[in-house]
Amino acid sequence: MIQAAPSVQSGDLAKTAPAGLLASLARQKASGLLELTRGTVKARIFFQDGLVRYAQSNVRSENAGGREVDEGKLKAATFDRAVAFAKQAGIALHEALVQTRAMTPQDVTAALKRQTIEVATGFVGWTEGTFSFVAAEAAKLNRLPDVRVSAVHLALTGAKRAFTPSVARTLLRGHEALQLERTAELERELFTIRNLWNGEQTIALLNGKYSVSDIVGKLREDDLGLLAAIVVTGLGEAAAAHPAATTNPTTATVPGSAPHAAYRATPNDDAACTFTEPESQARAVVFAERDRQKNLDHYQVLGVAHGAQTAEIKSAYFALARRFHSDAYSGLSLGSATRVLTEVFQRIGEAHGTLADAAKRKEYDVYVDRKARGLPTDVGAILKAESVFQRGTALLRTGKANEAEAAFREALALNSAEADFHAQLAVALLRGRRAVDEARSHLDRALELDPKNVIALAELKRLAGAGAAENSTRG
């Protein structure tokens, strides 16, 4: 069995999934150097506070300058002069590329980020070799290039390239009995996952009810790579790790229906921090988005109309997610805004997750509509009340007025703001126990809620006619 998300600091890559290494070090918020060796190939990945700060290898085509030569963007002679200058001056190659004017500083920065991504994602596919991690203080890494990228993002990107169906089946071997459910970390990575895979079916099956073996049987071959990535990175966890939920399903609320509880920095949170101008601007953007989202519904968070099509919703989501994913702020120190950025991104993902799912969206639309009208918004109770009401209506049609009365009372106990519930209870009372006074009070209440309620108006007219006929007979 391949070890998933290990915490060990050295070992054999034949027994440890490289993607799991990246995710584990991210989870530990590790700082230090991860060294990897496979034959003559060596890779070095530097971590700072759980992010990949920089990566390099001894493969020329993966490194800044060498790749540009292979692509014809840089002359080999110019590159060789920079290499010679780096050795002579005792400086890093990327510095020599700038000092010899082989590449501009902006081009070198872009090349170093691409180098870091290529090295870190490339080793995810390794199935042999060794690794070791040596911790270091974050401050000691400051002399290195800083192109910080999410380690989990790199693990997933590498998995997309390397985890063919056959590789995925090998990685999943030994995990078949594991019943998986989503972690909060997986929810944060949904943007990355959706960009890489069409993974909606896989994600939906991570509900704690199915084993890995069951899920494999329900997926297409092309989806197995995502499942393997979720297992080896620890983004899916055993359902037994958490006690079963005790929430009553009839009183569950729609995600996002509660007021948005955003983290707010206290004056002392950033007291010891000094921020550059770009960092200050980035923090202002994050806090402004946090404040914008407060008390908005899902549609308003994404900036789409209530009648928006699924394609519009997805487009709005991806635009916002690209803007507020942590990768968009790599290399920047945000202080307390880092936590706020996570919450902002989760809120965007929550809005998309609800509106992109037809069933969830239907429930959410009920919530939004009722909230706007000042009516009860407990969607679970509302839906159960509607079901009970329909049962009562069926009973009333078959002449079982007393049983229908009980059903309508149950529906009203769950949701007392529906005019039809009151009107039909009045009908049941009149046909069954002939409780005229109580029936009349419910008809009056129905008209308070809906002055044009057809049932209530008809029953009151009938009662008035019956009363007039009785008075005439007496006269």
Write out pLDDT tens, residues 386-426.
889 999 999 999 999 999 999 999 988 888 888 899 999 99
Within the chain, how many helices (H) and strands (E) appear?
22, 9
Coil vs helix vs strand at 178: coil
Are the C-beta atoms of residues 43 and 35 closer than 8 Å to each other?
A: yes
Residue-averaged pLDDT of the chain: 83
Q: How far apart are CA 19 and CA 120, in angstroms?
A: 9
Q: Where are the domains of the chain?
A: 163-242, 277-372, 379-474
Residue 249 pLDDT level (bands cut at 50, 70, 90): very low
Q: Do domains 277-372 and 379-474 have the same CATH topology?
A: no
Encode pLDDT of 429-458 as tens digits. Answer: 999 999 999 999 999 999 988 898 999 899
Looking at residue 193, its amino acid is I
Distance CA 120, CA 107 (A): 20
pLDDT at 289: 92
Beta bridge partners of 45: 34, 55
| Number of residues that this document lists for the chain | 475
Report d(CA 3, CA 14) in Å as an integer. 9
Written in H, E and C, the secondary structure of 355-398 is HCCHHHHHHHHHHHHHHHCCCCCCHHHHHHHHHHHHHHHHHHHC
Is residue 18 a contact partner of residue 26, using CB atoms and an 8 Å limit? no
Q: Which CATH number applies to 277-372: 1.10.287.110, 1.20.1280.260, 3.40.80.10, 1.10.630.10?
A: 1.10.287.110
Q: Which residue has the tokens 């955003």?
A: 262
Distances (CA, A) of 289 to 282, 293, 296: 11, 6, 11
pLDDT tens-digit series, residues 306-315: 889 999 999 9
Q: What's the CA gap between 87 and 293, in Å, rounded?
A: 53
Q: What is the DSSP letter of 132?
A: E
Q: Which two tokens stand for residue 287?
A: 């806090």
**Residue 376 phi/psi, 5° resolution?**
-55, 145
pLDDT at 368: 78
pLDDT digits (tens, 9 = 90+) for 361-387: 887 887 777 677 666 656 667 778 888
According to CATH, the topology of domain 379-474 is: 1.25.40
**For residue 229, what pLDDT is reported?**
92
Q: Listing from the earlier edge strand, what are the strands of the sheet with 149-150? A: 10-12, 130-135, 32-38, 41-48, 51-57, 149-150
User: Mutual orientation of helices 379-397 and 358-372 as an angle, nearest 10°?
Assistant: 90
Indicate if the pLDDT at residue 330 is higher than 80: no
Higher pLDDT, 454 or 60: 454
Q: Which residue is associated with the tokens 């290898």?
A: 57
Task: Please tell me the pTM assigned to this model.
Answer: 0.56
Residue with tokens 């990897």: 36
Q: What is the pLDDT of residues 174-213, one digit of tens each?
A: 888 888 888 888 887 877 888 888 777 888 888 888 889 9
What residue has token string 């081009």?
Answer: 107
CA distance 173 to 52: 29
Residue 73 carries which DSSP code?
S
pLDDT at 244: 38
Least confident of 122-136, 205-219, 325-339: 325-339
| pLDDT of amino acid 375 | 63
| Averaged pLDDT, 256-261 | 35
Q: What per-residue confidence (pLDDT) applies to 399? A: 93
